Structures are given as C-alpha cells and as structure tokens.
Structure 1
C-alpha cells in the first residue's frame, strides 16, 4: 500500500512537471502567492514508523518490528524569508502502530502491540529552487519534538504485567523533498520526509534484568512521512 501511494504521488507530480517544462504554457497560476510574508495551510498524509534498537550485548535474535501504515493531519504556518528560503511550523497529530516480537521469549508472552498517538511539532527550513511556470521543487529539513499521548510512561505496570511503556517526549531531526504545484485555486505540495529520533524512547521495566528491556541500550523511532499540503 505504501509503495502504491508513493508511486502514484510522484507519477502525478512527474506528469505535471513534464507538462510544465516541455509545453509552451506561459500563464502562471497564483502568480503572487509566494510574495506574501505569511501563508497558511494544512496537510494530510501517511506514515510508516519503525524502531531502531541498540543493544548492550548483541542478542541471539533481534527484536522484530512489524510496521503498518499510519495517518498524519495538521496545520502549516509559513514565513517567507526571501525567494528561496522559508521557515515553517507544522503542528499536527500522527497516528502510528507497530508490533514487536521478542524471538527469545516464549511465544505465549513475546508479542507487544505499540499503538501511538503523537502531537508532533516540526520547525523546518524550506529551500526552494526558482519557480518554473507552475511548479517549484524544494528540499526541507529541521528539528521537531513530539508528545506521545499513548506512552504509558507513568503507568506503574510494566512488561511483567503485559504493559509496554515509552517515554512521553521525543526529539527528532527531519529531512525531505517535494514539489510545489501551483493550481488554479491553491498550491498543492506532495512531499516525502524522513523522521529520526535523537533520544532514547524506552521506559524500562522495574527489573533491571527484564528480558524485554534489560539488554536494550537505546530504542528510537525512525519513520517516513508522505504528506499532501494544501495552501
């Protein structure tokens, strides 16, 4: 499903870009849109979240992570600095789901479902090329933070009672690319972005020798966002 969405998004973008580059169209949609100091919008999209595990001692078998497709929605505030650089704030909500399997633990208790709802707040720098007719490629990067509303950090029960716990706050760096497409009534921007957590997100079990958390040095999120922005 993720690959289908990705392929369709960029096929559409490629076809539109092709038309803009290799036709004689001279009429520009929303010609003065990027001259505004401030602009606003919203985004809808999909995500695929994973976990990266670093171990104190390498185990016989790695913890297995089963990823699934999640959903993103949020708002955009854009501050124009000049013709090529913008600052962006993109607060949103991210819904994700990951399943963990511990191969070295008996099968009756080796599975944990990790459902997460994040309030995600990126602060980004957007660098755009010069506009060509009705499209403009860009790259984007920056830092972000999130609050995991499903973290279970303060839950006194841990994996011994079947509860997988995470830290509530996480910090990331982000990098991605996309295309601004200037349509008749609005600007549409499909983009892809990688999201990489900096800090350890694992809330450890009370037992320091827990088979679920005892050998984990750091657990951090990494993910891909596919967003569709409307301004």
Structure 2
C-alpha cells in the first residue's frame, strides 16, 4: 500500500509532461539550462524503509520461515543537490540529505516484549551518475545509479542495553547501492524533477545481543540489511 501511494504521487507529478507531449507545445523553457558546468538545487520527498533478514536456520519458524514481521511506514526526505555536467547525456551528482522514517516489526519466536518501533534519522549522502536521453521539448527522462553512505543518528549501537531490555540496536554507519529513474521538467523559472530510487544496504546492520550469542532475538540472524524506496521532488 505504501509503495502504491508513492508510485501514484510520482505519476501524478509527471502529468504536465504528458500534456505537453500530446498538445504539441513547442515553447522551450530554459533552453541553455543543461549547458552549465555546475548547477545546484534542493529536494523534498518521501521514503519507505524495510528490513531484509537472512537467517541461519529458516526452519526455526515453520509457518513463515521468518523470525520477524516488518511493517513499513512513510517517512520524509530533505536535502541539497550538486550537479556536475560531464557530457550532454551524463552528469555526476552529490545529494546529501536527511531522512526521517519509522519501521515497526515484531519477533515471532520471542515471548513477552516482542514489538519494536524503530524511529530513525539518517544523514544520507549518495554519489550518483545520471544518464539522460536527448531533451524533447521541455522534458528529459533519465536513469540514475550509484553508491551512498549514511549515518544513523538513532542507531543505539553503543547502548549497553540490548533486546532483553527492550533496545533494538543497529550499526551507525551503513553503505548502499542505489538505482532509479525520473524525468526533468523544464519550467519557466526552474527545472523540476520527480524521481524514484531504490536504496539497498550492502553491509550487515544488526548489532547482536552481547550477553547471549544464542539470543532468541538475534541469534538466528545471519545478516540484516535495510532497503528503501525514495520519491524525491528536486528543484534546480
């Protein structure tokens, strides 16, 4: 449901481009915008995060094969954009920002306190390559991909309490690869860009329970990594 809502917002945002295609409008806005060596902007957007678990023993929970049930919610993104033009169809982008999100999940195996609400604030820094098509009237589709790192300000990594005291802990630093697509829309005064991007963690982000290697909460987890879907609206 959350992903469907994000996709719906994205497609609604590109309706002006579709209208321009079929209306035959030939008025070119900001014709020299992409000739700049450097350009700057900012973005606002939404995100939804998930946690992907790899288990040592999938038979521990025969009904689902999983120890955790994860519920995604919609969060908020804000940040800056720095764009370096490399060629007519290739740009290098740095998009440092902050994202706020919440993940709810529950341990199936554990008794007692099994629900966790993880409110996270990430300082997220992607370095991306943007591959664009040739501009058509006032719009230009593109795909984007790259790598990123983030600082989880709410990780609890150094908290001496663990899940037995109700504290779920994640690593402070995480690393990702990202891939997505979008459309540049050239308006009269600025360029507006709606885009969707998938974000996938590379490293293991789970901090195990220190006092019990066979912990019912973390003992069966081989790797835990976050993944997210970002819908951003960029203004340049």
TM-score class, shorter-chain normalisation, is over 0.9
Matched residue, 2:199: 195
| Map of 1:79 onto structure 2 | 84
Instruction: Say if 1:52 and 1:222, in contact at 8 Å, map to a contact too.
Output: yes
Is residue 227 from structure 1 mapped to residue 232 from structure 2 by the alignment? Answer: yes
RMSD over aligned Cα atoms: 1.2
Q: Distance in 1 between matches of 2:157 and 2:122?
A: 14
Instruction: Give the structure 2 partner of residue 40 of structure 1.
Output: 40
Alignment correspondent of 1:6: 7
Mapped partners of 2:230, 2:105: distance in 1: 21
Deviates more, 1:131-140 or 1:16-25: 16-25
1:211 to 212, 216, 222: 216
Report if the CA contact (8 A) 2:80-2:95 is conserved. Answer: yes
1:127-172 per-position Cα deviation (integer Å, ceiling 9, x unaligned): 0000000000000000000010000111111111111100100000
What does residue 24 of structure 1 align with? Answer: 24
The 8 Å contact of residues 20 and 132 in structure 1, kept in 2 or not, is answered as: no
Shift of 1:174: 0.1
**Counterpart residue number, 1:125:** 129
- Is residue 122–residue 143 contact of structure 1 (8 Å, CA) maintained in 2? yes
Q: 1:38-92: per-residue Cα shift (whole Å, max 9, x none)?
A: 0000000000000000001112142100110011000000000011000000000
* 1-structure distance, mates of 2:19, 2:76: 31
Give the one of 95, 100, 121 matched to 1:95: 100
Q: Give 1:5 deviation, angstroms.
A: 4.2
Question: What is the distance in 1 between the residues matched to 2:215 and 2:166?
Answer: 12
Q: Residue 175 in 1 paired to residue 160 in 2?
A: no
Q: Partners of 1:100 and 1:114 in 2: how far apart? A: 8
Shift of 1:211: 0.6
Cα distance in 1 between the residues matched to 2:110 and 2:25: 63
Q: Does the 8 Å CA contact 2:183/2:194 hold for their aligned counterparts?
A: yes
After superposing the two structures, state which structure 1 stretch, 4-13 or 81-90, moved more: 4-13
- 97-106 or 122-131, which moves further after superposition? 97-106
The runs of 5 or more residues in structure 1 that have no matched partner are: none
* Residues 1:157 and 2:158 aligned together: no
Residues 96 and 126 in structure 2, CA contact (< 8 A), matched pair in contact too: yes
Kept in 1: contact 2:82–2:93 (CA 8 A): yes
Q: Tell me how far apart the structure 1 counterparts of residues 99 and 117 of structure 2 sit (CA, whole Å).
A: 17
For residue 67 of structure 1, what is the aligned residue in structure 2? 72
